[in-house]
Structure formats: structure tokens, C-alpha cells
Amino acid sequence: MKRRRNVEAFSLSFLDCICCGFGAIILLLVLSKIYEPVILEKTEEDLQQLIAKLQEELFDIRGQTTVVTRALSTVRLETSETRMTLAQLQRELNAVQGQYELINQDDPLKSIDEGKLRAARQRLSEEMRRLRPNFRRAPDDAVGGIPVDSEYIIFVIDTSGSMQSKWGWAEQKLSEVLDVYPRVKGLQIMNDNGTYMFPQNRGVWIDDTPQVRQAIRNTMRQWQPFSDSDPSDGIQYAIETFWAPDKKVSIYVLGDEFQGNSMETVLRKIDTVNVEDENGNRRVRIHAIGFPYSFGGSSIPPSSQRFAGLMRTLCERNGGTFVALTLADR
């Protein structure tokens, strides 16, 4: 028999094939590495272009933001001015509506001839204007009556609990003072804390008509705002709000006690706002009506004594009259 030839696993031919395969792989790797730097360089260039483009867009956005911010600031400023104008118009509208409501209230006096109501105790004639500069009142003279030469009057009324106990009497005296002035150019009513009887007419004069006067009397019956029994705040506020060089104003204070700390402080404060002119005349006249604190007993509380002392001095300094009521005056 023929003897078979032994085949070796790792013959020369097998090793040649293996080496050729490894060489081909190495050649492929070498060829692929040739293009790698070019690809990296192009990628970096593309990234730089993208960054530059994004930065340019960012600058554009920032510029647009600045423009929008400026426009927003302008709009806010215009909105604020518009709101202020609207608030002013609203106040004026409230004042007009308040006067309209007062005028149109049901009142039997509408049928009365208005000409009859104008014939009265106050006449601002040329003769009065001529004689008034010659009028001089000595500091210690007693006042026999209340000067009625004012064209505008303000009531500052104590609405505390002690006054509510005699409120009908206060209504009567308010009505009597109004009767002293048959016709004026403007009215206002507030309590000693500066709270208006007619809030819709805050800070403005109320036209004097028969309907308005009746509305004042009607509202006075149930008017009870908070009061601290210190008329100085209401007086100061009334002078600062309503005095004008072309107006003759009188303030009437109705109260029964003074709960403030110092009478001298009140007098100095009123002197500061109600200054004298070169002829010694004050900006406004200040009158006062003092009510008894209570109807029973003979002792007078210190707060009532202080009110009387304060109002007497205040009226003397400011060209007015202080009237102290007693039970007999009722």
C-alpha cells in the first residue's frame, strides 16, 4: 500500500497566507489614517463658524432686548401719567356728581322763590368793602356779635360720644349759623378729625343752594364719624385745604371738650397756617360754639374747661367770636 504523506498544520504556505492577511490589514489602517487630520480640521472650522453665527445672533437678540426695554419703560411712564390723569378726572367727576346729587334731592324748598332767600343779613356791598379796612378790634374788646362778611364758611364739628348726647342741640345751632348767612359762594362740613360730611365733595367747595342746605340738615341728624375731641386737626386741615388769597373764609367750630395734650401747641400750630398779613388780618376767621359737657351736675370737666379756654383765645387771635352755651340757652 501507498503510504500517505503527513500534512503539517503550520507549513510555509499557511504562514505566507497569514502574513499577507496581516499586511493587508495594516495597509488599510495606514491608508485610513491619511485622511483623519483633514476631517478633524474641517470639523473644527465648522464649529468656529457655528460659534460665530451664534454670537452674532446673541448680539442681535441683546440689541432687540434693549430696544424693547426702552419701549416698555416709555409705555410704563405713559401708563402712569394716564392713571394720574384718570384719577384727577375721577375726582372731578365725583365732585360734580356729588353736587348734582345734592341739588337733585327731593326738597320742598325747590318750590320757594330763591329771590326771597337772598334778602338777608349778609351783604358784601361796595360800602362794606370800603369800610372793612378801617375796622380795628382791640385785643381785649368783648365781641358783641359774629362778623358775617365771609363769602365761604366751613363747619368743624366734634362728633364724639359726648356731643352725640346733645346732637339735637348741635343741629339747631348749625341751622342758626346757616341762617345768618343767607347766601355764600361755598360751603363745607367736616368733623374735628377732618372727615367730610359729603365724601364725594372732598377738597372742593359745595355750591350754596337751598337743596344743599337742606341736605346738610338731613345728613346732620345721623352723622356720627369717629372723633378724638381735638378740633386742632380739623381746623388746620380746613385752612390748608380751602384758604385762597381771593376768598374770605370763616370756620365755625362746634364742640364741648378738648382732649389734646397742649393748648399752647394748638395755638402755635394754627398761627403757623393762619398767618397775619401786613394789616394784622388773618387768612380766615375762626368762630366757635361751646356746648355744656352734660346736662346734669354743677361740676365742669377739665376737658370742657380746656376747650372753652382754647376756643376763647383762638377766636380772639383769629378775628372771630367764641360763644359758650349754657342750659338756659337751649
Tens of pLDDT, residues 62-73 = 888 888 888 888
193 vs 212: CA distance, rounded Å: 22
pLDDT for res 223: 94
Burial of residue 58 (CB within 10 Å: 0-12, 13-18, 19+) is: exposed
Q: Which residue would you say has higher pLDDT here, 154 or 115?
A: 154
CA nearest neighbour of 248 among 141, 154, 131, 146: 154
Mean pLDDT score across all residues of the chain: 80
Mean pLDDT calculated for residue range 107-136: 43
Checking if the pLDDT of 152 tops 80, the result is yes
Checking if the pLDDT of 110 tops 70, the result is no
| Tens-digit pLDDT profile for residues 78-105 | 888 888 888 888 878 877 777 666 666 5
Checking if the pLDDT of 118 tops 60, the result is no
Mean pLDDT calculated for residue range 271-282: 91
Element (H, E) at 255: strand 249-255
Checking if the pLDDT of 252 tops 80, the result is yes
pLDDT for res 87: 82
Cα angle at 238 between 266 and 215, to 5 degrees?
130
Mean pLDDT calculated for residue range 185-193: 95
Q: Give residue 7's pLDDT band: very low, low, confident or very high (50, 70, 90).
A: low
pLDDT for res 20: 82
Residue type, 14: F
8 A C-beta contact, residue 103 and residue 212: yes
The model's pTM is: 0.58
For the ranges 18-27, 104-113, 267-276, the one whose mean pLDDT is highest: 267-276
pLDDT-above-90 percentage for the chain = 42
Checking if the pLDDT of 57 tops 70, the result is yes
Mean pLDDT calculated for residue range 165-184: 91
Checking if the pLDDT of 188 tops 90, the result is yes
Cα angle at 115 between 109 and 119, to 5 degrees?
105
Q: Give residue 247's pLDDT band: very low, low, confident or very high (50, 70, 90).
A: very high
**3-class secondary structure, 119:** coil
Checking if the pLDDT of 109 tops 50, the result is no
Q: Give residue 17's pLDDT band: very low, low, confident or very high (50, 70, 90).
A: confident
8 A C-beta contact, residue 71 and residue 65: no
Delineate the domains of the chain, giving CATH numbers in brackets.
115-329 (3.40.50.410)
Helices (H), 181-244: 210-220, 231-242
Span of 4-13, 225-234, 308-317 with lowest mean pLDDT: 4-13
Q: Give residue 40's pLDDT band: very low, low, confident or very high (50, 70, 90).
A: low
Per-residue exposure over 169-187, b if at least 16 CB sit within 10 Å of its own CB, e if not = bbeebbeebbeebbebebb
The C-alpha cell 344743599 sits at: 212
